[in-house]
């Protein structure tokens, strides 16, 4: 097959759905129903929707002893109040979906127990949202209250730790010429996407339709099939637009089951939107961690040993233990002796979940801060220290790296950032009242891949429709997959439409873990290649075609026109070919399944930050940032920048602002709103820049991509923390870095 010219991939396209979004025509789950906008592509719209509002527990642990719903039920427009006292028993069968955790998921309204502050204890349905909200405020719940345990720092871990060892880290630490020991602490963070978590549920003769905010339409489908004991085939999930998610719309959280239950109980479509406050306990979060690092090195900074001891919070009913948090300690640097223990600490809280760069970003704060501490201790430049510990292969698996352009990331980053102008002495640079410092950190994230399917249809008018049940939570999947399809079909981008977010479409994996471009992108390319080959075969076998008799591998398609590669004048358009052959359309199914690789596959980066710290007030301002990334091939440079720069904004948040604060006396989250849970705003964000080192990874997938959305976050917080140290000479080992810590 002749290689297709790549015109769309690599071009800095704007989002194909951008106009829909900025004009308010993109329909998110909470926007439904839309009375006057027609439904595109035969996607149904609910009618006669009523509203559900959840009543949350006001204690952190205990039992419900009484629920008085009389005042609520006396209001006009109230349809029903459901609690454990009148809820039907739900089967809650095993969910074969891959997002299940060890333990038992929260079963809504199935018993009188309160497991965490904010647990749903009742739901009110009414014909208007206002009536439902008012009624919910009138539901009176009595409790037998116990004291919850919610503080990671003084609660015991459960069970045996997960461990990893190579060599003898303890012995190597004892004999190391240089030894450091530090404990880092990371606060709980909430994803806080712009779009609230929302579901509309409608039953028709035992069949359930959900309009949901989700990163994976199969996830609520499988969860509700298990919870209600009905076949997955009887559930359709529709989710064409997602207003940010960062990992928190991967699992189907309890409110989705509540919406479906409520709709079944009142026999009407029900809309349930979690409030911003309810998000803090209704869905997951990045768990808080304690991460102890001990490292040993020789005088030249070559690591001889690293020991990592981690503790992370989880709920009592499920064990969330993210794999990625132990990986960097095992494979990022040449380290002959490594020992790790990872303990989970069950608390009276709801269950944590992956959040952007899950595990890796937590580990990077500890490991990359520790490397900076070692560099300072030895008086070695932080980049030079990392270069000296750059491994030849992946020591955790003894496998070669597929591609690892980390040295190039350091070199390019140092040059572009002006690293060599840096005075290595901490607290050596001032700008008025501001102490100025620079820091850097390494980023790494697993290249994940999963099987997918896609359907491709080319109509006789020369336009194509490509469909797969993936999602676009914001990275621009609609656009980047359109680019892949356009090149493979030889069409202009405007002639390709991509549809996603519907369980009726061919299956796709979770839209998370930076795996969508590798997995669904390769699948889309496969389907479009097959369709193009069909068209070429049709042409070269058609005696009326100018391409009659040409070898198929000598034909390419460009701008909707098939022609001989070396003789562009000889050819015809898809439209001419299909019309003459009386074909309304051509269709093909694409699929791709990743093969077991002999190599260790990761995306990498080097992140550089300059900060100013007000010497009298302890305020930290990021002054500029640069990220240099090895993420394989970049399909969509403008969207890549959107990911990379957006992640820097997110990383500024976790470094300096974001902190979910729990009152440990009763388990209540005290800053459950965007006024008190601080996220970066425009004034917090300086000039940001991202560079992508050139090169594809052909072992990873046919597109040569390694995934971008996670790795771009991983190094941001430690780069800022290291810059704060350089500015002030003060090492802060707790995130977020507070003004108090710097005074
Ligand atoms: Mo991302 S935490 O894999 O949605």
The angle at the Cα of 497, spanning 496 to 500, to the nearest 5 degrees, equals 140
Percent of the chain beyond pLDDT 90?
96
Residues of the chain with CATH 3.90.1170.50: 33-147+209-274
The DSSP bridge partners found for residue 182 are: 293
Which entry of 368, 373, 467, 710 is annotated as an active-site residue?
Answer: 710
pLDDT-based confidence at 34, cuts 50/70/90? Answer: low
Using the CB atoms, write b or e for 641-659: b if 16+ within 10 Å: bbbbbbbbbbbbbbbbbbb
pLDDT-based confidence at 35, cuts 50/70/90? Answer: low
| Distance from the alpha carbon of residue 735 to the mean position of ligand 1, in angstroms | 21
User: What integer pLDDT is reported at residue 74 of this predicted model?
Assistant: 97
User: What integer pLDDT is reported at residue 41 of this predicted model?
Assistant: 58
What's the predicted TM-score (pTM) here? 0.97
**Which ligand 1 atom is at minimum distance from the Cα of 246?**
4
Torsion of CA 663, 665, 667, 672, to 10 degrees: -20
Cβ contacts of 204 within 8 Å, gap of 6 or more: none
User: What integer pLDDT is reported at residue 33 of this predicted model?
Assistant: 81
Assess whether the C-beta atom of 356 lies below 6 angstroms from ligand 1. yes
| Distance from the alpha carbon of residue 641 to the mean position of ligand 1, in angstroms | 18
Q: Residue of the nearest CA to atom 4 in ligand 1?
A: 247
DSSP-assigned letters across all residues of 415-464:
HHHTGGG---STT--EETTEEEEEEEEEEEEE-----EEEEEEEETTS-E
- pLDDT tens, residue by residue, 476-497: 999 999 999 999 999 999 999 9
**Which ligand 1 atom is at minimum distance from the Cα of 473?**
4
Give the residue-averaged pLDDT of 687-694.
96
**Which ligand 1 atom is at minimum distance from the Cα of 245?**
4
User: So what's the architecture of 18-22+450-592 in CATH?
Assistant: 2-Layer Sandwich (3.30)
Burial of 665 (0-12, 13-18, 19+ CB in 10 A): exposed
Ligand 1 probe mutation, 250, 352, 361, 714, most atoms within 8 A of CB: 250
Model confidence at 275: pLDDT above 60 = yes
Does the CA dihedral 188-193-195-198 come out positive or negative?
negative
Assess whether the C-beta atom of 571 lies below 6 angstroms from ligand 1. no
Model confidence at 42: pLDDT above 70 = no
Average pLDDT score, the chain: 97
Assess whether the C-beta atom of 509 lies below 6 angstroms from ligand 1. no
Q: Residue 368: enclosing H or E segment and its boundaries?
A: helix 360-378
Give the residue-averaged pLDDT of 323-331.
97
The angle at the Cα of 460, spanning 457 to 462, to the nearest 5 degrees, equals 75
**Which ligand 1 atom is at minimum distance from the Cα of 514?**
3
| Distance from the alpha carbon of residue 353 to the mean position of ligand 1, in angstroms | 9
| Distance from the alpha carbon of residue 360 to the mean position of ligand 1, in angstroms | 12
Output Rg (C-alpha) for the chain, integer angstroms. 27
**Which ligand 1 atom is at minimum distance from the Cα of 512?**
3
Ligand 1 probe mutation, 283, 512, 516, 518, most atoms within 8 A of CB: 512
pLDDT-based confidence at 40, cuts 50/70/90? Answer: low
| Distance from the alpha carbon of residue 127 to the mean position of ligand 1, in angstroms | 36
Model confidence at 37: pLDDT above 60 = no
Assess whether the C-beta atom of 15 lies below 6 angstroms from ligand 1. no
Ligand 1 probe mutation, 99, 242, 650, 710, most atoms within 8 A of CB: 710
Model confidence at 57: pLDDT above 60 = yes
DSSP-assigned letters across all residues of 459-488:
ETTS-EEEE-S---SSS-HHHHHHHHHHHH
Give the integer Cα–Cα distance in Å for 445 and 644. Answer: 14
The conformation of residue 209, written as its DSSP 8-state character, comes to E
**Which ligand 1 atom is at minimum distance from the Cα of 355?**
2
Model confidence at 209: pLDDT above 80 = yes
Assess whether the C-beta atom of 355 lies below 6 angstroms from ligand 1. yes
Assess whether the C-beta atom of 324 lies below 6 angstroms from ligand 1. no
The answer as to CATH 1.10.10.60 being correct for domain 403-448+599-742 is no
Assess whether the C-beta atom of 358 lies below 6 angstroms from ligand 1. yes
Q: Pairing state of beta strands 270-273 and 198-204?
A: antiparallel
Model confidence at 97: pLDDT above 80 = no
Give the integer Cα–Cα distance in Å for 178 and 75. Answer: 71
User: What integer pLDDT is reported at residue 736 of this predicted model?
Assistant: 98
| Distance from the alpha carbon of residue 606 to the mean position of ligand 1, in angstroms | 21
Largest CA distance in the chain: 85
> How far, CA to CA in Å, does 292 sit from each of 177, 302, 308, 313, 362?
20, 20, 6, 15, 12
Backbone angles phi, psi at 68, to 5 degrees: -110, 110
CATH number attached to the domain at 33-147+209-274? 3.90.1170.50
The DSSP bridge partners found for residue 270 are: 50, 201
- pLDDT tens, residue by residue, 621-638: 999 999 999 999 999 999
Residues of the chain with CATH 3.30.365.10: 18-22+450-592, 403-448+599-742
User: What integer pLDDT is reported at residue 43 of this predicted model?
Assistant: 76
Assess whether the C-beta atom of 512 lies below 6 angstroms from ligand 1. yes
| Distance from the alpha carbon of residue 48 to the mean position of ligand 1, in angstroms | 34
| Distance from the alpha carbon of residue 570 to the mean position of ligand 1, in angstroms | 48
Concerning whether 710 is annotated as a catalytic residue, the answer is yes
pLDDT-based confidence at 510, cuts 50/70/90? Answer: very high
């Amino acid at each position: 097959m002749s290689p297709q010219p790549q015109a769309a991939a690599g071009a800095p396209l704007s989002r194909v759905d951008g106009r829909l979004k900025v004009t308010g025509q993109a329909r998110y789950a909470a926007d439904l129903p839309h009375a006057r906008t027609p439904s595109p592509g035969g996607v149904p719209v609910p009618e006669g929707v009523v509203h559900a509002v959840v009543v949350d527990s006001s204690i952190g642990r205990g039992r419900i002893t009484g629920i008085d719903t009389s005042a609520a039920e006396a209001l006009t427009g109230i349809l029903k109040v459901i609690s454990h006292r009148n809820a039907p028993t739900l089967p809650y069968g095993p969910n074969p979906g891959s997002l299940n955790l060890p333990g038992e998921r929260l079963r809504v309204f199935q018993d009188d127990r309160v497991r965490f502050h904010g647990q749903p204890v009742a739901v009110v349905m009414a014909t208007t949202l206002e009536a439902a909200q008012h009624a919910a405020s009138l539901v009176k719940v009595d409790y037998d209250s116990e004291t919850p345990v919610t503080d990671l720092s003084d609660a015991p871990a459960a069970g045996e730790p997960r461990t990893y060892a190579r060599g003898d880290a303890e012995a190597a630490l004892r004999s190391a010429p240089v030894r450091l020991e530090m404990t880092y602490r990371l606060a709980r963070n909430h994803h806080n996407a712009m779009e609230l978590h929302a579901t509309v549920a409608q039953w028709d003769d035992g069949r359930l339709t959900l309009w949901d905010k989700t990163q994976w339409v199969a996830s609520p489908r499988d969860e509700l099939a298990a919870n209600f004991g009905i076949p997955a085939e009887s559930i359709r999930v529709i989710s064409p637009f997602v207003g940010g998610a960062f990992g928190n719309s991967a699992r189907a959280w309890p409110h989705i089951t509540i919406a479906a239950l409520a709709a079944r109980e009142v026999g009407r479509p029900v809309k349930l939107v979690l409030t911003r406050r309810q998000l803090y306990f209704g869905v997951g979060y990045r768990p808080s961690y304690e991460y102890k690092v001990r490292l040993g090195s020789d005088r030249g900074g070559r690591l001889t040993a690293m020991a990592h001891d981690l503790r992370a919070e989880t709920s009592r009913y499920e064990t969330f233990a993210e794999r990625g948090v132990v990986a960097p300690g095992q494979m990022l640097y040449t380290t002959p002796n490594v020992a790790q223990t990872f303990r989970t600490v069950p608390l009276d809280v709801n269950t944590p979940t992956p959040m952007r760069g899950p595990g890796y970003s937590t580990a990077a704060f500890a490991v990359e801060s520790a490397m900076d501490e070692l560099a300072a201790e030895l008086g070695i430049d932080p980049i030079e220290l990392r270069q000296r510990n750059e491994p030849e292969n992946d020591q955790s698996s003894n496998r070669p790296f597929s591609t690892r352009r980390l040295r190039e990331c350091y070199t390019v980053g140092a040059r572009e950032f002006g690293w060599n102008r840096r005075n290595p002495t901490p607290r050596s640079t001032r700008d008025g009242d501001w102490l100025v410092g620079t820091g850097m950190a390494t980023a790494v994230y697993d290249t994940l891949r999963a099987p997918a399917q896609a359907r491709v249809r080319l109509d006789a008018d020369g336009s194509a429709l490509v469909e797969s049940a993936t999602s676009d939570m914001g990275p621009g999947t609609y656009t980047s997959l359109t680019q892949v399809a356009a090149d493979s079909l030889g069409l202009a981008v405007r002639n390709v439409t991509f549809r996603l977010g519907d369980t009726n479409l061919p299956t796709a994996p979770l839209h998370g873990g930076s795996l969508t471009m590798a997995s669904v992108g390769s699948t889309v390319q496969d389907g479009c290649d097959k369709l193009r080959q069909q068209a070429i075969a049709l042409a070269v076998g058609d005696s009326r075609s100018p391409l009659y008799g040409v070898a198929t591998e000598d034909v390419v398609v460009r701008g909707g026109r098939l022609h001989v590669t070396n003789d562009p004048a000889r050819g015809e358009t898809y439209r001419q070919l299909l019309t003459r052959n009386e074909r309304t359309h051509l269709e093909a199914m694409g699929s791709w399944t990743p093969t077991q690789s002999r190599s260790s596959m990761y995306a990498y980066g080097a992140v550089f930050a300059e900060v100013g710290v007000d010497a009298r007030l302890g305020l930290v301002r990021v002054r500029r940032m640069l990220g240099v990334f090895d993420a394989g091939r970049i399909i969509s440079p403008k969207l890549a920048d959107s990911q990379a720069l957006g992640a820097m904004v997110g990383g500024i948040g976790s470094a300096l602002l974001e902190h979910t604060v729990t009152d440990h006396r009763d388990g209540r989250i005290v800053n459950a709103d965007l006024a008190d849970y601080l996220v970066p705003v425009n004034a917090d964000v300086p000039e940001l820049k991202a560079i992508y080192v050139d090169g594809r990874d052909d072992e990873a997938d046919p597109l040569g991509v390694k995934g971008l959305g996670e790795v771009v976050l991983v190094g941001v917080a430690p780069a800022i923390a290291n810059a704060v140290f350089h500015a002030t000479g003060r090492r802060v080992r707790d995130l977020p870095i507070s003004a108090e810590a710097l005074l």
